[in-house]
Amino acid sequence: MKMFKKGGRLIVKQIFVLFVGISVFFSTCFIYQKTHGREEAVYHIHRRLQNGEPSGYGERTASGNNDTRMESTVSNQHEKDIKISVTLPSRGKTERLSKRKQIKNASRLSLYKERKVQISSTCRKYGLGKFPLQGDSEEEDPHGYRAMGDSYPWPPEKSLMYQESWHLLYCWIHKVASSSWSTVFFNLKGKDVPPSRLHEAAQQFSIPSSKLPGAISNSLVFTIVRHPFERLVSAYRDKFEFSKKYAYIYTKYASKILGLKTPAEAERARRPTFSEFADYLLRVPVQQFNDHWVPYWLHCHVCEMEYDIIGKMETIEDDMEF
DSSP, residue by residue, 251-269: HHHHHHHHT-SSGGGGGTS
Compute the average pLDDT of residues 110-138. 84
- The C-alpha atoms of residue 178 and residue 198 are separated, in whole angstroms, by 9
| pLDDT above 50 (res 50) | no
The answer to whether residue 24 scores a pLDDT higher than 70 is no
d(CA 75, CA 57): 6
Pairing type for strands 220-225 and 168-171 reads: parallel
CB 224 within 8 A of CB 173: yes
Give the DSSP per-residue string, 156-174: GGGGEEEETTTTEEEE--T
pTM of the model: 0.66
- Whole-number Å distance between alpha carbons of 202 and 213: 19
Selected residue with higher pLDDT from 85 and 91: 91
Over residues 211-257, the pLDDT tens digits come to 999 999 999 999 999 999 999 999 999 999 999 999 999 999 999 99
Mean of the per-residue pLDDT values of the chain: 75
Q: Note the pLDDT of residue 96.
A: 52
pLDDT surpasses 60 at 119: yes
Report pLDDT digits (tens) over 250-304: 999 999 999 999 999 999 999 999 999 999 999 999 999 999 999 999 999 999 9
Q: Rounded to an integer, what distance in angstroms lies between the CA atom of residue 320 and that of residue 207?
A: 23
**pLDDT for position 91:** 38
